[in-house]
Amino acid sequence: MMFLFRSELLLFFLMSISAIGCLAIDKWKNTKKFLLAMIVGGICENLAVMLGAWSYSNAGFLFAPIWLPVGWGMCVVLLDEAFAKDAYNPKFSKRALALAFGGTMLTGIAFQSELGVLFAFAVVTAALIASGFYHRSEVKAGMAAAALGSVMETACIITGNWHYSVAWLSAFGVAVTLWLPLCWFNAFLIMRRIIN
C-alpha cells in the first residue's frame, strides 16, 4: 500500500493474490470473516471518503481505491489471528453493524471538529468497555489493533497514499488525526462482532 498505491489495479491484483494465498493456507476457514470485513469495511471507508473526512491520492473507480476492501478483509483476519486467538469470541451483533455505520457517518459529518470526534470516540469506547460490550479479554487485542493500525496509516500518509482533511497532530510534514488509535481500537473490536 505504501509503495504501489499509484497503480490502483496492480495493487488490487497483488493484494487479492495475497489474500487468496493467506486464506488458502488456513484451508479457507476465514473466508466468511474476510468477505464480511471486506464488504463492511469497504462500504464504511467509501462513506467516510465521500463525506470528506479523508481522501486517497489515487482512487479511480470509487471514492476509495478498489484495493481498500481487500485491505480491510486482510487486516481484520490477520489482526484477529495474531492478537485475539485467546480472547472472547463474540457472536454476530446487529448493534455492532449499527455502530460501524453510525460511527462512520458521525465521523464523516463531524470530522472538521477533531477534538469533538476524539471526545466522541473516547466516550463511546469507555461506554462500550464499561457496559461489557467489549469483553475484558479483547482489550489487549484492541490495543494491538490501535497501535499497528495507527503505525500503518502513518506510514501510508508519509508516502502520500492518503491524507486526513483535518489533523492537528503534525510532525515532519505528516498530519495524523488525534482520534486515529481509538478509531482502530473500536473498528477492530466492532468488526469482530460483525464477522462472526
Burial classification of residue 60, based on how many CB atoms lie within 10 Å of its CB (0-12 exposed, 13-18 middle, 19 or more buried): exposed
pLDDT at position 61: 87
Residue-wise pLDDT for 12-43, tens only, equals: 999 999 999 999 999 999 999 999 999 999 99
Q: Is residue 1 part of a domain?
A: no
Give a yes or no: residue 42 inside a domain: yes
Asked if the structure places residue 3 within a domain, the reply is no
pLDDT of 167 higher than 70 = yes
User: How many domains are there within the chain?
Assistant: 1
pLDDT, tens only, 42-67: 999 999 999 999 999 999 888 999 99
pLDDT averaged over every residue in the chain: 94
Q: Could you tell me if 79 and 188 are in contact, meaning their C-beta atoms sit under 8 angstroms apart?
A: yes
Domain enclosing residue 122, as ranges: 8-195
Does residue 16 belong to any structural domain of this protein? yes
23 Cα distance to chain centroid: 19
Question: Are 173 and 119 spatial neighbours (Cβ–Cβ below 8 Å)?
Answer: no
Give strand pairing partners of 164: 54
Please report which residue ranges of the chain form alpha helices under DSSP H: 8-25, 31-51, 68-83, 94-110, 114-130, 139-159, 180-195
Map 77-100 to HEC letters.
HHHHHHHCCCCCCCCCCHHHHHHH
pLDDT band at 2 (very low <50, low <70, confident <90, very high): confident
> What are 64-104's pLDDT values in tens digits?
999 999 999 999 999 999 999 899 999 999 999 999 999 99
pTM: 0.94
What average pLDDT does the segment 149-176 reach? Answer: 84
Cell numbers for 135, please give them: 469483553
